Amino acid sequence: MNRTEKDKTNFFIKISSWSWIAWFIIPYLFLFVVFFVKFDAASAVLQDGRFWSAFLISFSSAVVVVLLTAFFAIPVAYFLTYSSFRYNNFVEALLIDIPQTFPPVAVGVIYLFMLGPSSPINIAFTFTAVVIAKLLVSAPFTIGYTLRKFREIKNSKLDLVARSLGAGARDVLFRVLIPLARRDITAGLTLSWARAMGEFGGSLIFAGVISYKTEILPTYASRVVDANPFLALAATALLTIFALFTIIIVRSLFKRKVE
Amino acid sequence: MPMLTIKNLTKSYNDKKILDGLNLAVNENEIVAVMGKSGSGKTTLLLCILGFIVPEAGEISFDGQNIISLPIEKKQIAYVPQDYGLFPHLSVQDNIGFGLAVRGQDAEARKKKVRELLKIAELPDELGQRNVEKISGGEKQRVALARALAIQPKLFLLDEPLSAIDIETKESVGRELRALIKKLRLPAIIITHDPTDAKNLGDTLYYLNNGKLEKK
């Protein structure tokens, strides 16, 4: 490759990378610029009781989702690491990949029929419905991160060494797998929490938008955007701040791990 | 009479026989080196002895007792994998004391035993506090052996023990490793792809080919 061709290639790589980066950064900058320029109008959200209720429901349901995920993800990841059954790959895809690509609205529709007014167990349009809708799309992050790390430990044969030293399954889990996967489990839980905070489609269909009962921040933003766009903007800015904090925490965890 | 006897060990993957009626006898204090190309079944043999892989046929007996169905944690086989398998989240002393901790030994007794084991492995006392990722390759190997010794093993299984050692120190580390195993008076099986390592470490040399062992 001669010098001119090399320069052209470098130029193309830089231009495409920077335009891609700008495409993703501009909306965030726009959001915060408008938020601060129109701060008086947007800050009205802080006096809106409905907003605070939506915030609390979002926050508390995300906390419940994270607690449930933390309780189940580790045994599930352990099971998938050490079990070899016929449909292992399919079950793994069902628990990790499919929920991340499945349209959230479809999740809501399925739950509405399965656990809604037409079923014997009717929990639609309740706080529990918010949690269930969020759990399906949020838990896969933690299960995926934990499973990947457990497999890495298994491939390094550290579990085998522990067993040869006399450790039973419980000791391997608590003395080797969990301590070594600590950062990955934390990173997975942080992403699950962020996803639970931002979940929209499933909750909208299955839990509905009942103010002070099932209304969460994303549904609040969607409802107020026509009447008062700045309230929606403020709610969106808060959600974005939460997401950014999450990513910063996850990045710093992994950076420390590399160091 | 051999301490370890393997008779007719057979294991296949996807209809291909990796171990095909393999026989081996290891005497008291003998170091057996098993050579073979990658994929020849060396690690499979080791994992079968350890009990992590169940063979289709064959018998593995230790001191006259069939150990094939004993759970891995009850076999008292000291296994040291290729990169020593030290737990990176534990200090040197916690690595050495791991087998004692899972047996419920109290902290004070464990500390005393770890100090003894450091001495046997010819490692300084102060190394105990160090992070296992910040010690040399030779020290890691000794820590792995000291840790294995804590469970009073009946047999050593070492997978490519010199592969992570740099070429300049390989010979001296190999010599020290052999001397240490001899001092412990335990039978050992060493798996390696390197004929020089096999010659430097083993008393008896075997070549694993077509699922069977050929004496060299």
Q: Which of B50, B79, B154 to mutate to test the interface with A (most CBs of A within 10 A)?
A: B79
Q: What is the pLDDT of residue A38?
A: 82
Q: What is the pLDDT of residue A34?
A: 85
Instruction: State the nearest Cα–Cα gap between B79 and chain A, in angstroms.
Output: 6
Structural domains for chain A: 38-258 (1.10.3720.10)
Q: What is the pLDDT of residue A256?
A: 63
Percentage of chain B surpassing pLDDT 90?
Answer: 57
**Across the interface, do B75 and A167 touch by the CB < 8 Å criterion?**
no
Residues pairing with B62 in the sheet? B4, B65
pLDDT < 50: residue spans in chain A = 258-259
**Across the interface, do A166 and B103 touch by the CB < 8 Å criterion?**
yes
Q: Which of residues 25-64 of B touch A (CB under 8 A)?
A: 47, 50, 52
Q: What is the pLDDT of residue A259?
A: 46
Highest mean pLDDT among A62-66, B138-142, B161-165: A62-66
Domain boundaries, chain B: 1-76+154-216, 89-151
**Could you report the per-residue pLDDT of B69-128, keeping only the tens digit for each?**
888 888 888 899 888 999 999 999 999 999 999 999 999 999 999 999 999 888 999 999
Rounded alpha-carbon distances, angstroms, from residue A3 to A9, A10, A12, A13, A222: 10, 10, 14, 15, 53
Strand B57-62 and strand B31-35: pairing? unpaired
Question: Is A165 in CB contact (< 8 Å) with chain B?
Answer: yes
Q: What is the pLDDT of residue A257?
A: 55
Which CATH number among 3.40.50.300, 3.30.70.890, 2.40.50.100, 3.40.50.720 corresponds to the domain B1-76+154-216?
Answer: 3.40.50.300
